[in-house]
Structure 1
Amino acid sequence: MPPTSLYVTTHVHTDGPIPGPHSLLTLASSAYRADGVPIGTFTANLRELPGATLHPSSLETWRDRAEDWLWPRRAARPPAQVAHAYAAWVESLGGRPVFVTAPEDPDHLFCYWYLQRFAGRWPFAGLVPASDGPDRSWSPPPCPLSGCRTAGDLRTAPAA
């Protein structure tokens, strides 16, 4: 019998549309058993990548949200440290963790790039669209930013 699948929902904040030229600022994940029962969370703020820049469209998004911009900068850690800690957290869940993603969101792109670049591995057994959950009850972790989508929005609408 294959190991039980676990589902990990993720919510990120970035300063641009793609990883590398732009940085992942916040990474937050919630893990769920296949029956939808939550089993753990991971949250971290990351320092910007050396040489990365704030994308003009991101600047417009953040411009009127100074407190939201400052929140991800608090207690920010080096990207490699966060990537290793995140990969270890995913692996500690046991089973076969699956990354739940809304395809239109950059969450999976940034996570994949950062995990490969800094941890040298992708600890997930696969990807599944957010709407394919057994009871569609998976939700990303709550976001503390005032201008952010709510936890239930991942299931009902594309990210703003």
Structure 2
Amino acid sequence: MPPMQFYVTTHIHTDGPIPGPHSLLTLASAAHTGDGTVVSTFSANIRELPGATLHPTALENWRSRAEDWLSTRRAARPPAQVTNAYASWVQGLGGAPVFVTDPDEPDHLFCYWYLQRFAGRWPFRGTTSVTEVDDRIRATPLCTLQVCCPEPLVLAAC
């Protein structure tokens, strides 16, 4: 029998367009079965990378959303700690986890960079485009920030 396949959707917030010079601030993921049932979630706020800077465009964006910015900084943990916990969460799903990516968003770029840099691995068995998965998987909201989701969400902390 083939291993169960999980689809992991992810939503992030950053302080710039690329990882390294800029930081991943929030990471939220949901693991779905093929029929769209959410089986597990992960969310964390992440401390800025040492030496990274806030991109001018991101600064302008965050200035108009002070409450959201503060939300991303609450209980922020070191990047290595969060990334290793995330990699363990993905691995703990068992089966064959697949990272669902939207090529127009930087989620996959930041996740790949952080996982390689801090966990030393990419824990997914594959990737697929968001257009290739069921609408029920794409429709799951992950973000608690007002700009993304006006209704409050409760996600399981890692």
Q: Same fold (TM over 0.5)?
A: yes
Cα distance, 1:150 vs structure 2 = 7.3
Alignment of 1:27-106 (within 5 A): 27-106=27-106
| TM-score, length-scaled by structure 1 | 0.89
1:107 aligns with 107
User: Sequence identity, in percent?
Assistant: 67
Query: What is the CA–CA distance in structure 2 between the aligned matches of 1:141 and 1:53, rounded to whole Å?
Result: 28
Q: Using a 3 Å threshold, how does the CA distance of structure 1 residues 149 and 57 change in structure 2: closer, same or farther? A: farther
1:136 aligns with 135
Q: Using a 3 Å threshold, how does the CA distance of structure 1 residues 103 and 150 change in structure 2: closer, same or farther? A: farther
Gaps of 5+ in 2: 152-158
1:120 aligns with 120
Query: What is the CA–CA distance in structure 2 between the aligned matches of 1:136 and 1:113, rounded to whole Å?
Result: 27
Aligned pairs, how many? 150
The alignment yields a C-alpha RMSD, in angstroms, of 1.5
Residues 63-121 of structure 1 show CA distances to partners (whole Å, capped at 9, x for unaligned) of 11100111010000000000100000000001100000111100010000000000000
Query: What is the CA–CA distance in structure 2 between the aligned matches of 1:79 and 1:141, rounded to whole Å?
Result: 23
Query: What is the CA–CA distance in structure 1 between the aligned matches of 2:150 and 2:89, rounded to whole Å?
Result: 24
Query: What is the CA–CA distance in structure 2 between the aligned matches of 1:129 and 1:76, rounded to whole Å?
Result: 29
Residues 44-68 of structure 1 show CA distances to partners (whole Å, capped at 9, x for unaligned) of 0000000000001101111111001
1:18 aligns with 18
Gaps of 5+ in 1: 152-160
